[in-house]
């Protein structure tokens, strides 16, 4: 039965891939929106995601009641007092999402259920907290906690350390400047703070190794890792990419706990097939889905290989396992990152070796700081000092190594065929190495 289910899951993924690359007529929802492209419209709808503050604007997504399905992406004034669940009336020009030369933004938004964009329209707040159900009400309460934590960080810490902490613990990318993002990208450290599947999977499994290194039993380490993973997913605002990565990362944790990585692989394929049945656009249009799947796949296939490679690294606090998991995930996500962003960090292995040991400590004291600061202001002030030291060290490494002229190598216009040519020899080499050496 397991083999049949596994075969059906593989067939499902293959079928979705074929379906994704075959040209087809626009969907009913996109046709509904297309009738209004370029026109001045007025829509009523509920804000369906937590508005994201940026340097010059605030971005949010709302679901117009005039359509049977689909959402609109809105960019508006930076100081707009909007919240998740607000009922708004939006007046302005509805535009078709663009498809840039190097990135099809239209298809990316479509995978999120977004079919239109509006820039700086007139917005009228009709009613606050217009939650349609219990799930939305609970979600709003979670976002309230997130906003309170964001205030604690802003009150007790300064940039850029505050931006790094917010991104790492809350999935809050809004405070990361373009300069800081570039430094993290050039040094191969962006995966630590980027809200993506790779981020959730790597950090969760690093924490598992760290807790085991502290001397906790497997069950205790698993429970704590799960708890922190769920907390992070909640604090990101229940981002769909984080939820999917949480499912995949959770399957990997259970497989590690049971000592059955082969079972983890079957479960991963089944979970991916199930997600694609609900949203087939994820496979080719959602980089977050691709990264989370490949990160878990990398750990399943190459963890033992990297563990052997790093056999001289001490096991203190689970350091060897943490590094092996990180490099296992990165080697499998590297081609997708190069394909989408056009460069590779040449110093990533070295910077990760320097930074990774500090991350579990930063996460641990960071959450204590947030909880303490939310309850008592003086406690937040007291706890902010050790948090600042770890965050300062993280930023120092990114700052120093990003200035090196050889930090990255540009690889542009990469063919998608290269992705296949990369994975086949890598998997064959790792399997052959394990058979002969490990």
Q: pLDDT tens digits for the chain (438 residues)?
A: 667 877 888 788 888 888 777 776 667 777 888 888 888 988 898 888 888 887 788 888 888 888 878 899 999 887 778 888 888 899 999 998 887 766 677 777 887 888 889 999 998 888 887 777 777 777 788 888 888 888 899 888 888 898 888 888 887 777 788 888 888 888 888 877 766 555 666 667 677 777 877 778 877 888 888 787 777 777 776 666 667 767 776 776 666 666 666 667 777 788 888 888 888 878 877 777 787 788 878 888 888 888 888 888 777 766 777 788 788 888 888 888 777 777 778 888 888 888 888 888 888 888 889 888 888 877 888 888 999 999 999 999 999 998 888 777 777 666 667 777 777 777 777 766 666 554
In a domain, 21, yes or no: no
CA distance linking residue 302 with residue 60, whole number of Å = 39
Quote the pTM value. 0.76
| Burial (CB count <10 Å: 0-12, 13-18, 19+), residue 410 | exposed
Output the pLDDT for position 435. Answer: 60
C-alpha separations of 157 from 110, 191, 301, 372 in Å: 37, 22, 40, 14
pLDDT of residue 199: 63
Domain boundary residue among 73, 93, 127? 127
Q: Are residues 93 and 206 in the same domain?
A: no
Residues 201 and 113 in one domain: no
Task: Report yes or no on 77 lying in a domain.
Answer: yes
Q: Residue 109 is part of a domain; what is its CATH number?
A: 2.40.50.140
Domain residue limits at 59: 35-127
Instruction: Note whether 93 and 47 are same-domain residues.
Output: yes
Burial class (CB in 10 A: 0-12, 13-18, 19+), 436: exposed
Helix or strand holding residue 115 (H, E) = strand 114-119
Pairing of strands 87-93, 114-119: unpaired
Residue 62 within any structural domain of the chain: yes
Q: Are residues 121 and 197 in the same domain?
A: no
Whether 29 maps to a domain, the answer reads: no
Please answer whether residues 213 and 317 qualify as being in contact, where contact means their C-beta atoms are separated by less than 8 angstroms. yes
Dihedral sign of CA atoms 433, 436, 437, 438 in order: positive
137 falls within a domain = no
**pLDDT attached to residue 389:** 92
- On whether both 241 and 316 belong to a single domain, the answer is yes
Same domain, 337 and 425: yes
Does 183 lie in the same domain as 120? no
Structural domain includes residue 420: yes
- Could you tell me if residue 18 is inside a domain? no
**313 and 188, same domain (yes or no):** yes
- Answer yes or no: do 253 and 373 share one domain: yes
Does some domain include residue 206? yes
Chosen domain end from 98, 127, 156: 127
Do 379 and 327 share a structural domain?
yes
Residues 186 and 91 in one domain: no
Distance of CA 43 to the CA centre of its chain: 31
Burial of residue 116 (CB within 10 Å: 0-12, 13-18, 19+) is: buried
Does one domain contain both 312 and 399?
A: yes
How many domains is the chain built from? 2
Residue appearing with tokens 């796949």: 297
């Amino acid at each position: 039965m397991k083999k049949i289910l596994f075969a059906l899951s593989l067939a499902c993924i293959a079928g979705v891939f074929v379906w994704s690359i075959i040209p087809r007529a626009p969907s009913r929802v996109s046709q509904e929106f297309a009738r209004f492209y370029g026109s001045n419209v007025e829509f009523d709808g509920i804000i369906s995601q937590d508005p994201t503050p940026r340097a010059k604007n605030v971005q949010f997504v709302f679901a117009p009641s005039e359509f049977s399905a689909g959402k609109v992406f809105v960019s508006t004034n930076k100081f707009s007092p909007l919240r998740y669940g607000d009922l708004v009336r939006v007046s302005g020009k509805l535009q078709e999402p663009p498809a840039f030369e190097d990135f099809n933004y239209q298809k990316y938004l479509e995978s999120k259920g977004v079919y239109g964009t509006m820039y700086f329209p007139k917005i009228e707040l009709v009613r606050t907290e217009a939650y349609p159900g219990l799930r939305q009400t609970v979600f709003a309460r979670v976002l309230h906690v997130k906003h309170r934590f964001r205030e604690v960080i802003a009150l007790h810490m300064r940039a850029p350390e505050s931006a790094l902490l917010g991104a790492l613990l809350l999935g809050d990318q809004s405070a990361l400047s373009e300069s800081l993002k570039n430094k993290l990208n050039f040094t191969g450290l962006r995966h630590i703070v980027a809200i993506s599947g790779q981020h959730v999977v790597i950090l969760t499994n690093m924490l598992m190794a760290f807790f085991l290194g502290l001397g906790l039993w497997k069950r205790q380490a698993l429970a704590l890792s799960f708890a922190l993973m769920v907390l992070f997913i909640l604090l990101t605002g229940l981002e769909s990419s984080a939820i999917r990565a949480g499912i995949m990362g959770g399957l990997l944790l259970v497989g590690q706990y049971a000592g059955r990585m082969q079972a983890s692989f079957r479960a991963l394929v089944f979970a991916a097939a199930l997600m694609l049945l609900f949203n087939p656009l994820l496979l080719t249009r959602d980089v977050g889905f691709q990264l989370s799947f490949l990160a878990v796949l990398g750990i399943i296939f190459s963890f033992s290989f990297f563990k052997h490679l790093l056999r001289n690294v001490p096991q203190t606090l689970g350091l060897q396992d943490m590094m092996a998991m990180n490099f296992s995930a990165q080697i499998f996500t590297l081609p997708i990152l190069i394909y989408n962003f056009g460069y590779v960090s040449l110093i990533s292995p070295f910077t990760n070796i320097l930074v990774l040991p500090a991350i579990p400590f930063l996460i641990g004291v960071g959450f204590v700081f947030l909880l303490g600061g939310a309850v008592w202001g003086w406690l937040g002030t007291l706890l902010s000092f050790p948090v600042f030291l770890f965050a300062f060290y993280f930023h120092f490494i990114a700052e120093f190594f990003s200035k090196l002229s050889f930090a990255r190598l540009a690889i542009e216009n990469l063919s998608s065929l290269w992705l296949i040519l990369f994975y086949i020899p890598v998997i064959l080499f790792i399997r052959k190495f394990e058979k002969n050496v490990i």
